[in-house]
Structure 1
């Protein structure tokens, strides 16, 4: 097809070609953006880690520390190539007040523990957004970048620290990147001070906590080293963390976002194929006589096909090129969270290369699909094209159902229903597109609802109560526990509570190597969690384990596991395998007492009486209990823990709703243009026998509306049947501790708002398109 013919076709079919081009562009934008974000997430984390050098193994410890003993163990161990012990001064949000342009506020709502640190010399470095080591002067402070998204902080704001009659004022100099604690899923965050200010505060405020860090030649040795470290009787008053856990916690927010973008891009590519098919069919139906003439004069199938294929090659090339350009231009918006969290590394060469590869694959898929559709030209006979006028659709014959005799249905309704019922294939595109649009919108919406729902706490290793109290590891562990228990037992607003103590005990993994396992022990332990198989422990010698532990230990429901206590093995039966995104997904639950084994943590979940104010009660208890004890309303605990994921996902979901609505409208326009071309003679006959333009408008609105409602209904059913499976496949491969999520729906959104929005938009564009019927000349058509 020469340039003149191509240009003439674009002028003649502007709306169809433009709509097709837009769909190709949207498909490529989302496909390229999802690949950009996926690759950039991992390359940015690796770039940050190369400079910051987080530890391969970290043991947090509160209390007395024999550093010489730790160093001796590190030096003697074959895996260790470098080690260091970092000292943190632990304070809490209520100790810090920020004074800035946007007002004065306290950080008391922050559930993360705050550790004041000074810059390390070689490894585990705190960096600025350009991956440069941050060095501060006296009176300056570096705030972790994750707090910037939670509070309205800016460079130059003042931060006032008040604790133990000590008051110091700092100026925010930098928002620092912390490769170790850069997620709200972590229990702590670090603020950077100058060496001078750190030395001034050392021993005068807060509580000391130590980060015992080890580095290996092979970071995969972390799990084996962790077991050896814990079994050596070294300090373990705190969470033990491996490199893999650090990486997954860092990437979790962006992994979820990438999954949603990828899902939508796949669905949009499917819709684009539908769009391509029906635009091609529209062109073929409109030019069926010309095609018949070309076949009659002896043109080969390949020559006729190429006349159309070349146009779609140009459109596909334009769509892929423009889509890729727009995706790269808008990459800052897509990767903003990545740049903020992991630094301004710019797009990596690998991200650009793989994204362009994805765009090229989309181009090849479009061309291949076009060729497949254009094969219909081969089967079109000259007689069908020029004499009988059958075109590309086979006649189904007359419909004999007696429905035409109905006197109860209005004529327009009767005519419309009969065509949709008996010629459903002609209206299947509306049905399929609406099904896909509903699926495309509702799966991300339901995923967002699930992350924001209070019930998600059951995927975090805890049952759902009003308030969660955690007694942190430290010298005053037992004293603080008794203080908490005494308080809640005397408070009349408490309806009931459950208490758990966390112990660490030896067992073996699937390779029969020693490992340690943390077990939450209590009467209610394991109840109301999300189990993949089995259920909560009932008998004393039963144990429920998280699915990551089950995989590492080679266990399943009904298996027996040996726990080493007092030098002997005690057999337990696995009652169930549950899901847990906390503590790296490595936890266990039991009702067995484990007498004589000292706990390293206590937690209590409290239910209040019906009219009690949860937030006020949590604030009251927190002020009464003091340091070393965290008190959080359960909903706030979930919000701060998963807040980064929810905020990012909310932005994506809003964009998807808009894209889905536009998608439904554009496809409807394209489809109606095809149907009007195909139904041209039938429409003229209906007008000739007395049907007005208004009648025809109503008939088409009923047809489109009915097919749309069927598609929305099917989409809603598909969301229920397939939505969870799609999400669970992604979560299961991510290794986040969750393998099977039950999506929580918003009934108003799923059954009212989305269907109503889509139906209204479809009816609106149908009315606009159907105005062209008034321009038909009956005599010229017949």
Structure 2
């Protein structure tokens, strides 16, 4: 009999049941997708690393090296299982020209450091999309997928290398997976050549750079090894990177995507419960007479409940199964970046198991919530249901009509606003849905806007200026520094500029183990950064440290740090803790210039009189300054560094906005059906005393509009207040050097476009639904 009732209800309420089915399906689908993406990201990286064997420690070095000294040090360091030194030929983007089908371009706008390498024997391998070791023949080239995504290169395109008067031409044979340098945040990328081509070009083009690599039984040993290596005075004119940083930089883009999907799926499940409540309450109100009859003939509460519960169980089960299948079918769209970056990989067994568990969780939560709502049937008496006609919600408070105040507002406006104001709990569901929808849309939109904004440079350990110049490590460091200073001091287009020198100072971590602290020092060091606590350094003995350094050292604002230089420990006070995603998130800032120490690097941040000339001026300086010095407009630097994250996030945000708007319209339909069912007698009375159908429609438009406006306003406030806390919590867990992010919002989108679009859609749906009041018959309704 239960099954017959379920079938009958499905036929009678096709639209509502279909809407509820679709909604549960969408909730389950997003929950499954977030689980699949999270697991596939880490599983794919782990699978790639298993074959490619990226190093646990890399020290990049430009200049001459003494391989015997390096080997001697590593052979005496306990815990090293393998070591190798790789030679890489550094070339510049303008030296590489690509000739494709109908288009020719060079890589002069590429901010990544490009190195030519040959295939390694057993570790730090370059693989294809099937995780197979790539073999390159003479005249062929393996291009990293990073450059393929940036420029749209194709297999068979010709790449022409021109450098130092030499010219070589290659054909792109394969797009390679580089386990150590597969993110724009890494700032470097490698192109694979055949052994023969590499040997012919070495010494003829570019400049040699060495990758000194070490492997350990436990990758966590790399941090201690880095300190020992640097203190031994071995080659270190370049960036040092550990396994943990390589992994996090690789996963950064997909971690952000998983976070957004997970956030939306949680919000969607919450709204799914609201949707279920709408439907159940509407059904109970419409069928209160039948419920009274069943109670009158002696049916138990559990039997009556099961008539309704079975229907929602069927809907939930069908929705969850369909959502799971849908998620598997479209997962390729969401995991495309993972497949491209880390290779094609089938879904892992763990992903299948946990995604099924996520679907099951949605089903059991929905079932539990349905049972909780259906308990309201217990409170319904036979007299309430069959005599007085009261539904499951008996509490109908007295409403002041306020008609005596109708001097400026019309009767329709006063009646509508007073009903919402004095019985707001009847409208709280609609208010909550709009609030959640606004937050669900605006938090991801603001996160995307933050990653794309020039101000994000303050999370990368630098202040916001027009142009960034960096003098690379190497034998010509001081000469290059002097050359930059000479150019900047003579240029009349410069408004002002700040210079910084990076030095390495010895100190200890919270376990009293030795560690090296890299400090950017200069007159503007630490200014305009994003501080979690404290402020920029001011005095000679003050230093600001990054969040990850503060965690490793166990220091907070006001603590003292002992820095060893000039053959003695000197005390510095921590003035502030800031956020930085560069250099593995471990940096420091000080106004003191540390003249006792040699510089590891120089950088300049420049403001122009006319910032619109940044691109043109950086191009001029690049030609003058030459090799070994990078000159980038700040906006371009941020765009290329975080472009991959923003591109992936943009696709997800578009889908979320579409879901959010559709969700709002769907809930509006369900809510209005519930309200109209509950207000049937009131509508009949209004018609009987002379209110026209247009008056009644107008009142409902005003009610929904008033509640929606309150929900939109509250959603904007909630986004501004809690949005940053939610994002910060996720980024802090990710361990990329960020703990607190100030979301940068677009005022036009947040305060004008989003509210207006939501309001227009809600009012449009309301107008369509309330047209059904013309079908209400006064006499039959009053008789009932």
Match of 1:42 in 2: 42
Q: Which residue of 2 aligns with 1:545?
A: 545
8 Å contact from structure 2 (residues 669, 769) kept in 1: yes
After TM superposition, the structure 1 = structure 2 runs for residues 519-598 of structure 1, keeping only pairs within 5 Å, are 519-598=519-598
Residue pair 2:63, 2:209 contacting (<8 A) in 1 also: yes
Per the alignment, residue 262 of structure 2 pairs with 262
Query: Partner of 1:341 in structure 2?
Result: 341
CA distance in structure 2 between the partners assigned to 1:409 and 1:458 by the alignment: 51
- 1:775 counterpart residue number: 775
8 A Cα contact 1:102 1:152, kept in partner: no
CA distance in 2, matches of 1:736, 1:376: 49
Counterpart of 1:20 in structure 2 is 20
1:668 corresponds to 2:705: no
The residue that corresponds to 1:235 in the other structure is: 235
Secondary structure of 1:299 counterpart? coil
Rounded to whole Å, the distance in 2 between the matches of 1:112 and 1:640 is 8
Q: Is residue 644 of structure 1 aligned with residue 651 of structure 2?
A: no
The SS at the match of 2:64 is: coil
Q: What SS does structure 2 have at the residue aligned with 1:74?
A: helix
Indicate conservation of the 8 Å contact 1:433/1:667, yes or no: yes
Match of 2:616 in 1: 616
Give the corresponding residue for 1:203.
203
CA distance in 2, matches of 1:276, 1:611: 54
Instruction: List aligned pairs for 1:12-411, cutoff 5 A.
Output: 12-101=12-101, 103-400=103-400, 402-411=402-411
CA distance in 2, matches of 1:528, 1:739: 17
**1: CA distance, partners of 2:756 / 2:746:** 15
- Residues 694, 400 of structure 1: alpha-carbon distance in 2 compared, 3 angstrom cutoff: closer
- Contact preservation (8 Å) 2:672, 2:769: yes
Equivalent pair of 1:493/1:612 in contact (CA under 8 Å): no
CA shift digits 1:728-747 (9 cap, x unpaired): 11111110101001111101
Aligned equivalents of 1:394 and 1:454: distance in 2? Answer: 56
Whole-angstrom distance in 2 between the partners of 1:85 and 1:288: 80
> Can you give the 5+ residue segments of structure 1 that lack an aligned partner in the other structure?
none
2: CA distance, partners of 1:100 / 1:367: 57
How far the C-alpha of 1:407 sits from its partner, in A, is: 3.2
Counterparts of 2:726 and 2:512 in 1: how far apart (Å)? 35
CA distance in 1, matches of 2:146, 2:706: 49
What is the DSSP-based 3-state SS (H/G/I as helix, E as strand, rest coil) of the residue aligned with 1:573? strand
Measure the CA separation in 2 of the matches of 1:556 and 1:347: 43
Q: Is the 8 A contact 2:399 2:423 kept in 1?
A: no
Counterpart check, 1:450 vs 2:471: no
Contact 2:560–2:573 (8 Å) recurs in 1: yes
Measured against aligned partners, the alpha-carbon deviations of 1:15-70 in whole angstroms (never above 9, x if no partner) come to 11111111101111111000100011000000000000000111111111101111
Kept in 2, the 8 Å contact 1:79–1:225? The answer is no
| Whole-angstrom distance in 1 between the partners of 2:510 and 2:228 | 17
**Secondary structure of residue in 2 paired with 1:85:** strand
Structure 2 Cα separation of the partners of residues 738 and 76 of structure 1:
37
CA–CA separation in structure 2 for the residues paired with 1:729 and 1:612 = 37
Q: How many residues align?
A: 782
Report deviation, 1:404: 4.6
For 1:570, what is the secondary structure of its paired residue? strand
Deviation at 1:415, TM superposition (A): 1.6
Q: Is the 8 A contact 2:6 2:307 kept in 1?
A: no
Q: Which range moves more in the overlay, 262-271 or 770-779? A: 770-779
Change (3 A) 1:262 1:531: same
Contact 2:450 2:744 (C-alpha < 8 Å) held by counterparts? yes
Shift of 1:462: 0.3
Consecutive unaligned residues of structure 2, counting only runs of 5 or more, are none
Q: Alpha-carbon deviations, 1:366-400, whole Å to 9, x = none?
A: 00000000000111111111111121112334324
Q: CA deviation at 1:145?
A: 0.5
Q: In 2 relative to 1, CA 702–326 (structure 1 residues): closer, same or farther, beyond 3 Å?
A: same
**Alpha-carbon distance in structure 2 between the residues aligned to 1:398 and 1:199:** 91
Q: How far off its partner does 1:775 sit?
A: 1.6
CA contact (8 A) 1:468 1:604 kept: yes
For 2:58 and 2:469, locate their aligned partners in 1 and report how far apart those are by CA, in whole Å. 25
Q: Is the 1:130–1:343 Cα contact (8 Å) retained in structure 2?
A: yes
After superposing the two structures, state which structure 1 stretch, 609-618 or 553-562, moved more.
Answer: 609-618
Answer yes or no: is the 8 Å Cα contact 2:5–2:307 preserved in 1.
no
Deviation at 1:567, TM superposition (A): 2.5
C-alpha deviation, 1:403, in angstroms: 4.2
Deviation, 1:402, is 3.9
Deviations along 1:313-337, whole A, 9 cap, x unmatched? 1111001100000001111001011
Aligned to 1:497: 497
For the residues of structure 2 that align with 1:725 and 1:661, how far apart are their CA atoms?
A: 24
- Pick closer, same or farther for the CA change 1:364–1:611 going to 2, 3 Å: closer
Contact 2:402 2:415 in 1 (8 A): no
SS of equivalent to 1:507: strand
Q: What per-residue deviation string (whole Å, max 9, x for no partner) do you get for residues 720-774 of structure 1?
A: 1110111111111110101001111101100111111111111111111112112
Moved more, 404-413 or 39-48: 404-413
SS in 1 for 2:178: coil
Partners of 2:182 and 2:703 in 1: CA distance = 54
Secondary structure of 1:209 counterpart = strand
Asked whether the equivalents of residues 580 and 587 of structure 1 are also in contact (C-alpha less than 8 Å), the reply is: yes
Task: Indicate conservation of the 8 Å contact 1:500/1:525, yes or no.
Answer: yes
Counterparts of 1:612 and 1:596 in 2: how far apart (Å)? 39
Equivalent position SS for 1:330:
helix
Pairing 1:695–2:689 present = no
| TM-score w.r.t. length of structure 1 | 0.99
Shift of the alpha carbon at 1:780? 1.4
How many Å separate the matches in 2 of 1:584 and 1:301?
A: 62
Equivalent residues of 1:117, 1:198 under 8 A apart: yes
